[in-house]
């Protein structure tokens, strides 16, 4: 059972990484088509053509499809953005002093 769960987490990280790569690849095209589609000074047929081009881009190339996940466990919630790891893994590594520049607060 744990092997199946582990494989699911790995697949989730692979999917998320693929989405990140697609988003980076199509970022300029997506911004261009979106700007031209939303420009009210252009004729409607030009705007509509850019809306169609925008819809033809891969769905996973949108930045809203990207989900922050822990690089160690694949956990989708409670992510420390700076380190891209979950709060649980972050706390474990920080307690073991394995993260440079991070130490438990004491005053």
Q: Phi, psi at residue 81, to the nearest 5°? A: -60, -40
The pLDDT of residue 101 is: 87
Residues 41/105, Cβ–Cβ less than 8 Å: no
pTM of structure: 0.75
The pLDDT of residue 86 is: 94
Question: Closest Cα partner for 92 from 84, 81, 104, 101?
Answer: 104
Q: E strands, 22-107, where?
A: 79-80, 85-86
**Comma-separated ranges of CATH 4.10.830.10 domains in the chain:** 68-107
The pLDDT of residue 50 is: 95
The pLDDT of residue 7 is: 61
CATH number of 68-107: 4.10.830.10
The pLDDT of residue 106 is: 77
Question: Closest Cα partner for 29 from 49, 50, 60?
Answer: 50
Looking at domain 1-67, its CATH architecture is Orthogonal Bundle (1.10)
The pLDDT of residue 1 is: 43
The pLDDT of residue 9 is: 67
Tokens for 64, please give them: 């809203």
pLDDT < 50 regions, the chain: 1
Residues 58/51, Cβ–Cβ less than 8 Å: no
Q: Phi, psi at residue 105, to the nearest 5°? A: -70, 135
Chain length of the chain? 107
């Amino acid at each position: 059972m744990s092997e199946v769960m582990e494989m699911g987490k790995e697949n989730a990280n692979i999917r998320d990484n693929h989405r990140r790569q697609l988003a980076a690849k199509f970022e300029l095209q997506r911004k261009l088509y979106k700007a031209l589609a939303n420009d009210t000074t252009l004729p409607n047929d030009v705007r509509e053509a850019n809306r169609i081009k925008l819809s033809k881009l891969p769905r996973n190339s949108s930045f809203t499809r990207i989900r922050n996940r822990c690089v160690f466990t694949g956990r989708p919630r409670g992510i420390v953005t700076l380190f891209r790891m979950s709060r649980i893994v972050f706390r474990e590594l920080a307690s073991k002093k394995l993260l440079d520049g991070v130490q438990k607060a004491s005053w």
